[in-house]
Structure 1
Amino acid sequence: MKLKRSNKEPEGSIALAEAEALQQKGEKKRGQEAIGILQQASARFRDAISMGLPSEDELHDARFGSAWCLALCAEATKAAADALPDHLISRKKDVEAKHVALRLYSQAVAEYKQVLDSYGKVRSDAAVNAGNALCAVAELLVSSNSHGSRSTLTEVCTAEVQAYEEARHLYQSALTRTGYEDSNNQGCSTSRSVDEEGEQDADTWCNLADCLMSYAQLLTDRKASLPQERQGEAAALCQAALQAYEQACAVSDSSHGDDLPGLLCNWGSGLIAAALMTEPPRIELLHQAISQLQHSASFSRADTAPLNRLGDAWVHLAELAEAAMVHEEAKLMFTKALEEGYGRALAINRMDPEALDRELSPLVEALVVLALSVF
């Protein structure tokens, strides 16, 4: 007697296909509509897992998809709260939105860490995305705790430190992985750790750099409460971050879709942050930032970010010159901030919020410096 073979597709596979369709639909929406659809997609991915999937690859794809949707929900939740009109903004609503986003990011991290490769380790793309979510968690915690009265590292920063530490570990594990994993990325931009020829991923290096710089900033802000044995950590993290930015640009490859102008802009922003973490600020790092930001802006894209950062760097140099009573030099640098930075950004977009917000300040300061130089 022959057994009749069923051609019916497994229920789990059907649910997986439905989840992927919902994910794609949700990614095209905004605000609460996007959140609702992405939550449905994440739930459907989990349904697919509970129903059973015919292969390990599909199982990990479902876990990845669920995590990806949860992280998008967290981002959309933050964006929706930030977009509220002034008359609807309240401390309570802000706290509630951050709480929801933290929960969603944490769930995403847990699910990403279940996406394994053939060696039983967290798959490279999942490790990178989990690191991104953990950095978002740390930023939310820092923002939330900045309103509190606690001030010591132990009281305020334990969760943030843990998030940055785990994110750093995940990024580094992705960068040091041997071999290349070609996986279904569920419609998102995943990061390769090492490709077939062993070339490391620029975006992951940049993510690591951003993580280390934010971690360094956290420790710098809490330096007074750090124990003696941790006093040098911020400087070491800062240096490691700058090396990671440099490495990101060094391995950038446009054939892989890498965005060198964007990487240079991030490097320049990191150099500015590093310069301001010391007292007095490190002038040579501000000049290095200007060099990288000018390089980024030279690609002639309609991107205001490097121009605004360039304006920031010139303003910081001008303020240092002003503090040193070198008024003519300060005036020249304020002028450069306007002409090379914010003014060029406004030429691209007259309504650019960052340029509009910054343009008046250096203009006023330049006039003050001019007045002081006269007297």
Structure 2
Amino acid sequence: MPSLLPLLLFCDFLENRLHTSNLALLRRMLSDFFAGSEQTLQDFIRLGASVVVVMPMERMSAHRQQEVTRLLAQHQSMKEEDSKQQTQLCVFSYLSARVANRNIFLLRGMFQEFCSGGDRLICEFVRRGNEVVSLIPADIQTFKVNQVPAGWTGSPVNCERKLEQNYQQPRAASESDEDDSEEEDEIASVAELAAVASMQPTRTELHVCIMEVLDRIEQQEPWKTVFNPDAMPTSFSGVKRAKLAAALKKFWAKNGRAVWERHFWGPLGTLPDKRRSYERKTRQSKAREAFTRIMALAFEEFGANFFVTLDQHASLYMGWWYSGPVQSLFSLAQTQGLAACINYMESQALKRFPRIPGSTHRVSKPGESRSMWSTTIAMAPALREICAIKANK
């Protein structure tokens, strides 16, 4: 179907150019539209389990960029008639009137530029980095907003007829009129982007974007690299500390993921499947119990001075677990912006001590120890001794 093909190529282009989620659903909605159906769209609304999202983050791999160049060139070689292109644009109006969305007409502008071989709006979209394009599974007609006109069948034939009525001109347009019209469209597209720049993404959009990137990172199991017990440098060597070193090596082999995910705390509680949240909670509990035993071993063999040395050392020891509050990715996206949050995930995933945007170095308060953080009754004497030694120094 000639009119549908450019839209499908545009979806391929977006997937290779930017980070996206569930564009396969959008493809099916587009195909249904040109077939005079909206079965996929109705299922999308009824199930309410997925959100279609285009994020302001570029894909940087070489093969992705090559595919982007190829798709632009391929589309340039198959120009559409004006009437067919208007039908393609009509589908964006249809989606806008049918489901809740953010920035659907910005997506339309990106498609128009794709058709002419450009990507200026996408570049500006990425540069701003504080907005997403999304389709949300909520039926707008239910809320009596932007209702689809009566008699709408979902067919592009009706759309073409409507366009013929809307675009009939009383006189032929001059070249200067056409130039002015093109310029106005261009300015409107940029103005539209500027108008939405100050709007913050919804909670759902942030959750979807964060989990899309986090899932991709977790598939690579970065904790196995960061906490590789055979490669991690240790400051606890020697005959006297052999038992402690062995316990730490065993701990990192089993609990590296639990420590890693505290720096990249995703919004798992928002997912329909609660098993992931439960499994993370279980990992955290087991890791804390295991490291409490290690802290008890260190206190028994080396006393409170061992922890005082760890607390007061200029740099953190690579092989020790300094517990602190989890780093919520959702909170980071809210305070620093979605782009900063995603950049943090992608740039810090393989760091032993990730650098959090906008954070300052945390200093231990009186009465606490960063290296001996157990709150169990059995470890209370250790904390008292640590605090007493610090107070006397």
Q: Which has the higher contact order (CA 8 A, sep 6+)?
A: 2
Q: In proportion to residue count, which structure has more helix?
A: 1
Shared fold, TM over 0.5: no
Compute the TM-score of the two structures, normalised by the length of structure 2: 0.24
Q: In proportion to residue count, which structure has more strand?
A: 2
